Amino acid sequence: MTKATLQRRPLVKQILANADDNLLVIGGLGSSNWDITEAGDRPLNMPMWGGMGAPVGMGLGLALAQPSRRVLVITGDGDMLMSLGSLATVATQQPDNLAICVLDNEKFGETGNQATHTSPRNNGPTDSGAGTDLAMVARGCGIADTGTVREASQVAQLVKDLRAAKGPIFRLVKVMVEKLEFVMPPQDGAHLKDRFRQALLGHP
Ligand SMILES: Cc1ncc(C[n+]2csc(CCOP(=O)(O)OP(=O)(O)O)c2C)c(N)n1
């Protein structure tokens, strides 16, 4: 498989361009949060600081509770691998306002770029060598609209789909391994929760 060429920061900036109050964004811990914050910190972003495996479940709950809003989960492959079962639950619920975008760098980037299960392997002749395909996992869980994005030419459609296509949708985006500066959102979880609720509901 060819090496990934997409860069996560400009990609996320494009995905979140002109985000309005209709868009609720859940950020996966680590690199996805820094990407989302660089695109512009806003009260309707809910970054997971250390809550690995939590974003899709939280996105699902929010999508069901707020059916008139768009909910977008942007997270990493390591995080997604920790909560594969949540994809099956998304499929059973079929929220039409939920989009999930996994930025797959095939690494646990935040903790030092250890290979995740999506990395190709070399375990001998009986091993296919293919890493876990999270888009196929999502499809197998029962999410009908899934896809993988590798090329810049696919990005405009990706953005449209994530922002507006009928959910639930799942997109796997193969991104480069890069060393990027931290761009951190506020670190106080209670503050993040309160400002999110205030912006969404009008009270903390
Ligand atoms: C339950 C749990 N295990 C381990 C960690 C440590 N940890 C923080 S970030 C991270 C890697 C995240 O990898 P991925 O989701 O692929 O993100 P990226 O590569 O984009 O940083 C790990 C293992 C944690 N926060 N919680």
Q: What pLDDT does 158 receive?
A: 98
Evaluate: CB of 29 within 6 angstroms of ligand 1.
Answer: yes
How far apart CA 204 and CA 188 sit, in angstroms, is 14
Q: Best substitution site from 8, 29, 105, 174 to test ligand 1's pocket, by max atoms within 8 Å of Cβ?
A: 29
Which is nearest to 93 in space by CA: 168, 24, 163? Answer: 168
Cβ(203)–Cβ(197) below 8 Å: yes
- How many angstroms separate the CA atoms of 130 and 155, rounded? 24
Q: Is the CB of 55 under 6 A from ligand 1?
A: no
Nearest Cα to 152, choosing from 10, 1, 46? 10
Q: How large is the greatest C-alpha to C-alpha distance in the chain, in angstroms? A: 59
Ligand 1 near 28 CB (within 6 A): yes
Contact between residue 73 and residue 28 where contact means Cβ atoms under 8 Å apart: yes
pLDDT of residue 2: 75
* Closest CA to ligand 1's atom 16: 78
Contacts of 135 (CB under 8 A, 6+ apart): 146, 147, 148, 170, 171, 172
111 within ligand 1 shell (Cβ under 6 A): yes
Cα–Cα distances (Å) from 46 to 28, 51, 161, in that order, read 9, 11, 21
- Cα 143 to Cα 23, 146, 167, 168: the distances in Å are 21, 7, 9, 7
* C-alpha 157 – ligand 1 centre gap (Å): 28
Look up residue 3 and give its DSSP letter.
Answer: P
- pLDDT, one tens digit for every residue, the chain (204 residues): 678 999 999 999 999 999 999 999 999 998 999 999 999 999 999 999 999 999 999 999 999 999 999 999 999 999 999 999 999 999 999 999 999 999 999 999 999 999 999 999 888 888 888 999 999 999 999 999 999 999 999 999 999 999 999 999 999 999 999 999 999 999 999 999 999 999 999 999
Q: Which of 110, 178, 180 to mutate to test the pocket of ligand 1 (most atoms within 8 A of CB)?
A: 110
Please tell me what DSSP assigns to residue 109.
Answer: G
CB 45 within 8 A of CB 36: yes
Which residue ranges make up each domain of the chain?
A: 8-201
pLDDT at residue 121 in the model? 87
The CATH T-level fold of domain 8-201 is: Rossmann fold (3.40.50)
Q: Cite the beta strand spans of the chain per DSSP E.
A: 23-27, 45-47, 70-76, 98-104, 107-108, 114-115, 145-149, 169-174
Distance CA 23, CA 7 (A): 23
Q: Please tell me the distance between residue 115's alpha carbon and the centre of ligand 1 in angstroms.
A: 12
| Ligand 1 pocket, residue 31 CB under 6 Å | yes
- What SS3 class is residue 194? helix
